[in-house]
Amino acid sequence: MCLDKGAYDYLVKLFSTRELICRIRANIECSILRRKILYHRYKQEDIKQLLLSIINTILSESDLDKTLLYITKEIYRRLPCEKIFIISNELSKNNKIVIPYENDSEDLTPIINLFSEINANNNDNSQPFTRSQKYFNENLVVDISLNEYCDEVHKNVSILSVEIRLDDNFWGWIKVHRSQHSVWVDSEIELLQQISNHISLAITYAKLLEEIGEKEIQIKAAEFANNAKTQY
């Protein structure tokens, strides 16, 4: 399309070869910029819909483990990675969710790589992470290790870890693995922080339902006791 536009301009008004090349180059750059803007809008809309779907799942699902499993799978479909862990600091048998897990038959094909650059020749891909690496490493909520041995997979990997907090207390981690020395861009880190906040909401909601259930049991037990007394 850009080349056709440049050729059309040339037919309408004759240009020198240098002017024609400059016009074609400008048209190509404008086309790439438009594609990047549309791509950014699509990415933002998909993330918005993901966060809304997480909220809907939280409100409709009373089983916290199922909610966390859903969230983990949705992250895996969007964030280029090898494995994702949600690890709870609470002492229980099921304090870890891993995606993909061994013998997982479910289709976890990525929806789209939302964080890949349109222009593969762009040399600034790693710049956002480089500029903010010190900030994220000083931020206790986020931890980045580009080459760390992981016992779960028995090899060195690049790990992005984001804390999950509950009422200002440490609850656990979201950990995402890639091949060693892989970088993490700011938009990926910010997405994981947003999801961490939603997981905190899910845990709070689950605990609230549990408390409501216990209170209802207590109320019904008290009513039963009162009814039993009136019979004597």
How many angstroms separate the CA atoms of 207 and 213, rounded?
Answer: 10
**CB within 8 Å of 206: residues ≥ 6 apart:** 62, 64, 67
User: How is 93-130 classified by DSSP, letter by letter?
Assistant: TT-EEEESPTT--S----S--TTS-S-TT-TTTTHHHH
Average pLDDT over residues 203-210: 81
Q: Supply angle C-alpha 181, 86, 215, rounded to 5.
A: 160
Average pLDDT over residues 156-161: 91
Q: What integer pLDDT is reported at residue 157 of this predicted model?
A: 92
Q: Please count the other Cβ atoms lying within 10 Å of the Cβ belonging to residue 215.
A: 10
Q: What integer pLDDT is reported at residue 104 of this predicted model?
A: 56
Cβ distance 199 to 109 under 8 Å? no
How many CA atoms, within 13 angstroms, populate the side-chain half-sphere of residue 198?
25
The mean predicted confidence, pLDDT, of the chain is: 75
User: Comparing 57 with 12, which gets the higher pLDDT?
Assistant: 57
- 83 has pLDDT over 60: yes
Q: What integer pLDDT is reported at residue 139 of this predicted model?
A: 57
Average pLDDT over residues 57-74: 81
Cα 204 versus chain centre, distance? 20
Nearest CA to 73 out of 110, 112, 114, 116 is that of 110
- 71 has pLDDT over 70: yes
**pTM for the full predicted model:** 0.66
How many angstroms separate the CA atoms of 6 and 202, rounded?
Answer: 55
| Residue 100 buriedness (CB in 10 A; 0-12 / 13-18 / 19+) | middle
Q: What integer pLDDT is reported at residue 121 of this predicted model?
A: 43
According to CATH, the topology of domain 61-101+127-224 is Beta-Lactamase (3.30.450)
Q: Which two tokens stand for residue 16?
A: 């020198």
Task: Give the range with max mean pLDDT: 6-10, 25-29, 46-50.
Answer: 25-29
- 149 has pLDDT over 80: yes
How many angstroms separate the CA atoms of 184 and 193, rounded?
Answer: 13
